[in-house]
């Protein structure tokens, strides 16, 4: 293998886990349970594409993630589509009352929750709770 190919391959392999972690993942069955079983701190966003409150929350979350890369490095962000999963186990077992609900989970504990809130300070507080749990 040539030196340049080796460097490119090594850099790609090193950055790939960070790139995957940085994305907000769309929920699929078992995804949250698997992340929790791996010891991850999970920020779960129950949202609908047509929901104005959900879109406002998403803008705040994205802005905060852009301001502080430590969120993406340490916290797993998962978006649960309300229209698909409103009656699913992931919603029922977490007692989610409606779309635009944000929760933080670690192990078998819920560390915090916001229902229909769009305040930057409140969402930052919830994200900071997630970060603190992930880095403790």
Strand partners, 26: 79
Residue 20: predicted pLDDT:
42
Among 64, 57, 60, CA closest to 80: 57
Residue 23: predicted pLDDT:
87
Residue 15: predicted pLDDT:
45
Interval 71-110: pLDDT, tens: 999 999 999 999 999 999 999 999 999 999 999 999 999 9
Interval 13-55: pLDDT, tens: 444 444 444 689 999 999 999 999 999 999 999 999 999 999 9
Q: Is residue 69 within 8 Å of residue 127, measured between CB atoms?
A: no
- Please state whether beta strands 101-106 and 75-81 pair in parallel, antiparallel, or not at all (unpaired): unpaired
pTM: 0.84
Tell me the domains of the chain and their CATH numbers: 22-135 (3.40.30.10)
DSSP string, 31-51: HHHHHHHTT-EEEEEEE-TT-
Among 100, 5, 108, 120, CA closest to 53: 100
Among 42, 57, 68, CA closest to 101: 57
Q: Per the structure block, which two tokens stand in for 37?
A: 């079983």
Q: Per the structure block, which two tokens stand in for 76?
A: 């797993």
Residue 7: predicted pLDDT:
52
């Amino acid at each position: 293998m040539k030196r340049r190919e080796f460097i490119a391959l090594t850099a790609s392999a090193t950055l790939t886990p960070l790139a995957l972690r940085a994305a907000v993942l769309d929920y699929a069955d078992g995804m949250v349970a698997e992340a929790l079983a791996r010891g991850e701190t999970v920020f779960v966003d129950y949202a609908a594409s047509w929901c104005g409150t959900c879109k406002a929350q998403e803008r705040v979350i994205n802005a905060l993630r852009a301001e502080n890369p430590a969120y993406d490095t340490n916290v797993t962000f998962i978006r649960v589509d309300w229209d698909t999963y409103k009656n699913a186990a992931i919603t029922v077992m977490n007692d989610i009352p409606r779309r635009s609900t944000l929760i933080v989970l670690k192990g078998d504990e819920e560390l915090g929750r916001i229902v229909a809130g769009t305040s930057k300070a409140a969402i930052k507080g919830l994200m900071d709770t997630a970060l603190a749990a992930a880095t403790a």
